[in-house]
């Protein structure tokens, strides 16, 4: 029969390996809603990304996120125009994150879990709202005790994309992606939200779907 000391020595590397594997496969989830008229297949039609909010126009931050939108459209087969005045389509883009709201979570001697929003307790119960962690009193020398109460802030972020035909102003597409997370860092959130919004573009008109993508600290590069 294994002693507790031997069990701890054998179990800890396995637990840590599982935790590192979980960290390596972080995912980002967003709720995506899209509405579109029947769109012709991309054949090099030109577009320009413009700010829905005039206060953002000309800003370096907006230009950085607009590059993420332009890169997605370019991959679909559209071409970036030299200016909005020469574009076939105007792509109106906006982004946001709220001021956050507090959440309180109670856990009874924790357990073992990972992810931005949940963990598995000692007996397999899934607890929403738990950052990555590994805690087991049997492994780390604890025992059953009182509840562990934690408070944290969650933020709702979102992006909106509207595509109009410039010649007559007809609306061709409307879409938005929203996510709840413990981060309010727009440079990380916006590229993920744009990625989710353009997954399976243009989608089914009128449908809201949950899109899960790999959260891999995207770097925004200028569209070609």
At 56-101, the pLDDT tens digits run 999 999 999 999 999 999 999 999 999 999 999 999 999 999 999 9
Confidence of residue 140 (pLDDT cuts 50, 70, 90): very low
Q: Which domains does the chain have, with CATH numbers?
A: 27-99+154-214 (3.30.160.670)
Kindly give, in sequence order, each residue whose CB lies less than 8 Å from that of residue 94, ignoring residues fewer than 6 positions away: 51, 52, 53, 56, 159, 160
pLDDT tens readout for residues 99-121: 999 888 776 655 544 444 443 34
Measure CA of the first residue to CA of the last residue in the chain; give whole Å. Answer: 64
Look up residue 168 and give its DSSP letter.
Answer: T
pTM of the model: 0.69
């Amino acid at each position: 029969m294994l002693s507790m000391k031997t069990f701890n020595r054998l179990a800890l590397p396995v637990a840590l390996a599982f935790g590192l594997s979980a960290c390596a496969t972080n995912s980002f989830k967003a709720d995506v809603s899209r509405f579109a008229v029947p769109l012709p297949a991309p054949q090099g039609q030109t577009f320009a990304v413009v700010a829905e909010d005039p206060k953002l126009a000309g800003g370096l931050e907006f230009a950085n996120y607009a590059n993420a939108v332009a890169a997605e459209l370019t991959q679909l087969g559209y071409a970036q125009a030299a200016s909005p005045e020469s574009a076939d389509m105007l792509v109106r883009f906006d982004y946001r994150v709220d001021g956050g709201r507090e959440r309180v979570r109670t856990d009874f001697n924790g357990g073992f879990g990972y992810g931005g929003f949940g963990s598995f307790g000692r007996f397999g119960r899934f607890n929403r709202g738990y950052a990555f962690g590994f805690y087991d009193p049997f492994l780390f020398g604890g025992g059953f005790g009182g509840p562990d109460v934690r408070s944290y802030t969650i933020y709702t972020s979102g992006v909106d994309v509207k595509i109009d035909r410039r010649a007559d102003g007809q609306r061709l597409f409307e879409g938005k992606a929203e996510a709840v997370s413990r981060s309010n860092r727009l440079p990380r959130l916006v590229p993920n939200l744009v990625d989710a919004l353009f997954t399976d573009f243009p989608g089914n008109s009128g449908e809201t779907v949950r899109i899960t993508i790999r959260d891999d600290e995207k770097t925004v590069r200028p569209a070609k």
